[in-house]
Amino acid sequence: MDAPTSAERTVYLPSMSDHAFTVAAAMRHFGVRAEVLPPPTQETMAMGLALCRGRECLPCFLCVGDLLQKCRAPDFDAKRAVFFMPTGTGPCRFGQYNVLQKSILTQEGYPEAEIVSPSTADSYALFGADPVGLRKLAWQAIVSVDLLTKVLHEHRPYEMVEGSAAAAYGVSLRELVAAVQAGGGSAVVGALSRAARRFGDLKTDRAEERPLVAVIGELYLMLNAQSNLGVVRAVEQAGGEVLQGTFSDWLHFVDWRRKDLSLRFRHYRNFVEGWISDTYQRWIERRFTIPLRGVIRHPPEAPIDEAMKRLAVCYEPVLGTEAVLTMARTLDLARHGLAGVINVLPFSCMPGTVVSCMAPRLREEMNGVPWLDVAYDGQEETNLHTRLEAFMHQAFQYHHRVLRAS
């Protein structure tokens, strides 16, 4: 029997966040069969842990579990399966996830299952018959979910009818998925305009301004509500409002890094490619922000190079890794009047640990704002909620005594 063609294969994306649904839709627009795997659970994590050595990071064994759960489904056909697992060239373990996962799949009896790994080295160039078109549409997919998430975070804490913001978000996300699958562009603008009307119609009570808490840190953990134990919702339930790091910021950072290193090593062609990609990305961001102007109060994040200038007073940005982005963005977000910062990190995460070590210096730059590091090891019984209570008490004090007095 002939090997399945690429059109007969299905690309499976890990369910890191809702971005996976719109990115899968972008792939389907280009004729790639794409499905999102179910979100991680304690059961899938146990599957992953059983096959890892125990020294890997939490996102690694969560993704291994997600892959294996799919492989062990009765209707699974390894010859027709492609797992989507981006990679990176930095000094941390992210660059080795796909290598380990391929070896585990082979060892578990699924050697034909492929892993496709777009890399930070090529700014996540994608695949298929039109990889540039797919990359552009995937960018639209990512930015639109980031913007919709911001709208949700700005409304949910103030909703007067419990669940109304989440319901508006759910409908809007489904419309975004359809709009991206239809090719993006004006279809996404239309979906975002309808989302703006939906959120604008919500009954909210903003009489009491809530303390603003930045939730930043390692990308997977920061965005994956299952593995971070719903930290955003927990802050909201404790009386705060969240400003969360975004997926698109990571991709801007990858482009910034590519341009910075290209200039240092005189790879001018690489620099120009990075510049073109950045220009397109910024244009899409501006275009998609317009319909949401009435429902987003907080100003947009500063461009990466500006954020890096803020960081340079206390840490050298060229050292790279996600730590640089996390710290630079936190200093930038402080302009919004933060009353607290929560740094989420997988247990033993290298960039996350750098950020924790730098926290006292960063806090000096941010007028002593309360700071909480939360290291996750996948155990449900972390004392997150007790620690969050104490932290939110400090955030309220800071909000009333420092921010309001200034």
Look at the alpha carbons of 264, 334, 149, 12 in this order and tell me if their dihedral is positive or negative: positive
Q: Retrieve residue 197's tokens.
A: 């009307």
User: Which of 51, 52, 92, 296 is the binder for ligand SF4 (CB under 6 A)?
Assistant: 92
278 makes contact with ligand SF4 (CB under 6 A):
no
* Shorter beta-carbon distance to ligand SF4: residue 44 or 321: 321
Q: Retrieve residue 312's tokens.
A: 């340079």
351 makes contact with ligand SF4 (CB under 6 A):
yes
CB 188 within 8 A of CB 195: no
User: Which of 24, 152, 177, 350 is the binder for ligand SF4 (CB under 6 A)?
Assistant: 350
* Shorter beta-carbon distance to ligand SF4: residue 198 or 257: 257
Q: How far apart are CA 128 and CA 28, in angstroms?
A: 11
217 makes contact with ligand SF4 (CB under 6 A):
no
CB of 386 to ligand SF4, least distance (A): 24
Reduced DSSP (H G I as helix, E B as strand, rest coil) percent helix, strand, coil of the chain, to 5: 60, 10, 30
Interaction with ligand SF4 in 36-65: which residues (CB under 6 A)? 57, 59
Interaction with ligand SF4 in 299-338: which residues (CB under 6 A)? 322
* Shorter beta-carbon distance to ligand SF4: residue 94 or 398: 94
CA 75 to chain centre: 31
* Shorter beta-carbon distance to ligand SF4: residue 211 or 352: 352
349 makes contact with ligand SF4 (CB under 6 A):
yes
Name the residue with tokens 């060239």.
89
Q: Which residues contact 104 (CB under 8 A, 6 or more apart)?
A: 51, 52, 64, 67, 68
66 makes contact with ligand SF4 (CB under 6 A):
no
Could you please report the per-residue DSSP string of 70-122?
HHTSTT--GGGEEEE--B--SSSGGGGHHHHHHHHHHHTT-TT-EEE--BGGG
User: Which of 48, 240, 274, 352 is the binder for ligand SF4 (CB under 6 A)?
Assistant: 352
Give the contact letters, 176-215, x = binds to ligand SF4 (CB under 6 A), - = no.
Answer: ----------------------------------------
147 makes contact with ligand SF4 (CB under 6 A):
no
